[in-house]
Amino acid sequence: MTHAQLENLNIDAFDLMPSPKQIHARLPLTDGATETVAGARKVLQGILDRRDPRLFIVVGPCSIHDPAAGLDYARRLKILADEVADTLVLVMRVYFEKPRTSTGWKGYINDPRMDDSFHIEEGMQKAREFLLAVNGIGLPAATEALDPIAPQYLGDLIAWTAIGARTSESQTHREMSSGLSTPVGFKNATDGDLEVAINAIISAASPHSFLGINARGNTAIIRTRGNAYGHVVLRGGGGRPNYDSVSISLAEQALAKAKLPQNLVVDCSHANSYKKPEMQPLVIADCVHQIVQGNRSLVGMMIESFIEAGNQPIPTDLTQLKYGCSVTDACVDWATTEKMLRNARLALLPVLPQRNK
């Protein structure tokens, strides 16, 4: 038996990918984007350290599929961000990678043409181009880290990172998180288990060594220092929400037992709203009410929002796509987003300055 009969039996091809350094050279960081990313990371660290009493809100489409509509949304969000900045720090949700339980569109990086042609090299470059534009208007970006190689291409343009419910238990993603330059929110497991996220925070705070690539695209042993800004994201699970005051109290107790800071972020979507976008305003209103009543652990929230409400299937003829409407999870529309965040600001404005004292 030859070597060829033992290796890569199910591999069709190895297509070369430009290195992170090559993609960065084509689309270098601008002064404006650098200022946005660095400033937002510092603010988020200040919120998690309780030096800044404001809340951060990760808000935006479930996924990016149309950069024109995405930038349209970003410009609207930037205006709103400036309006509520005394109380809320808005970070745009910019998700390019979509985890799949079985099959489906895997996101803008994996399949930018949305036709199963999988031009990943094109998707990575376009993703970086989009992030440069968002940060260029002064709006920081958040994303979910799914592929462990992608941060080498895009990590310098991200202010906050989520590790999803399916991957918080993954050693690969915990190791990757230990080296990320952003605060990292670990979601509880899909069955609602919180221990998975707590263990992930502890793991990511420690140094790790693992295989990856460097800026030149060479295989490298990546040695990390550990990430001190891991925190829990409550997204519901096991068929029930977990943003209610009882669930919040239990999460606080679990963090205290693990000797971790009591920092909680509530994802208003997913199981917390039973995947019904029209329920998201009720979730944020409940969380705001808890803060007004004296809660000190809630530091942020996540909202799935786009220009148009709901979602749509991906048609064979892409010209039939409805502008500004999600092709993955359903979202609230722009008018609802404005109302949610303005109402939150008005309710929180009198209480936040005293909250961390």
Domains of the chain: 58-355 (3.20.20.70)
Lookup: tokens for 335: 């008018």
Q: How far is CA 91 from CA 36, 156, 201, 232, 349, in A?
A: 11, 15, 21, 17, 19
CA atoms of 226 and 325, how far apart (whole Å): 38
Report whether pLDDT(225) > 70.
yes
In this predicted structure, what is the pLDDT of residue 101?
A: 64
CA atoms of 315 and 321, how far apart (whole Å): 7
In this predicted structure, what is the pLDDT of residue 47?
A: 98
The predicted model gives 210-225 an average pLDDT of 97
CA atoms of 62 and 327, how far apart (whole Å): 8
Binning pLDDT at 50, 70 and 90, where does residue 2 land? Answer: low
Which residue type sits at 304?
E
Helix/strand/coil percent split, the chain, to 5: 40, 15, 45
Phi and psi dihedrals of 302, rounded to 5?
A: -125, 140
Task: Report the half-sphere exposure of 263 (CA within 13 A, side-chain side).
Answer: 28
Closest Cα partner for 73 from 323, 295, 268? 323
The predicted model gives 145-168 an average pLDDT of 97
Burial state string for 265-292 with b = 16 or more CB within 10 A and e = fewer than 16: bbbbbbbbbeeebeebbbbbebbbebbe
| Contact partners, residue 190, CB within 8 Å, separation at least 6 | 165, 166, 237, 238, 271
Kindly tell me the burial class for residue 102, based on how many C-beta atoms sit within 10 Å of its own C-beta (0-12, 13-18, 19 or more).
Answer: exposed
Binning pLDDT at 50, 70 and 90, where does residue 98 land? Answer: confident
Closest Cα partner for 36 from 133, 138, 132, 129? 138
User: Is the CB of residue 329 less than 8 Å from the CB of residue 99?
Assistant: no
| Contact partners, residue 101, CB within 8 Å, separation at least 6 | 166
CA atoms of 43 and 94, how far apart (whole Å): 19
pLDDT tens digit string along 170-201?
A: 999 999 999 999 999 999 999 999 999 999 99
In this predicted structure, what is the pLDDT of residue 357?
A: 72
pLDDT tens digit string along 285-335?
A: 999 999 999 999 999 999 999 999 999 999 999 999 999 999 999 999 999
Lookup: tokens for 264: 């909680």
Binning pLDDT at 50, 70 and 90, where does residue 140 land? Answer: very high
pTM: 0.97
Binning pLDDT at 50, 70 and 90, where does residue 83 land? Answer: very high
CA atoms of 143 and 157, how far apart (whole Å): 10
Sign of CA dihedral 283, 287, 293, 295: positive
51-65, 104-118, 168-182, 197-211, range with the lowest pLDDT: 104-118
In this predicted structure, what is the pLDDT of residue 102?
A: 62
In this predicted structure, what is the pLDDT of residue 20?
A: 98
Q: What is the mean pLDDT of the chain?
A: 96
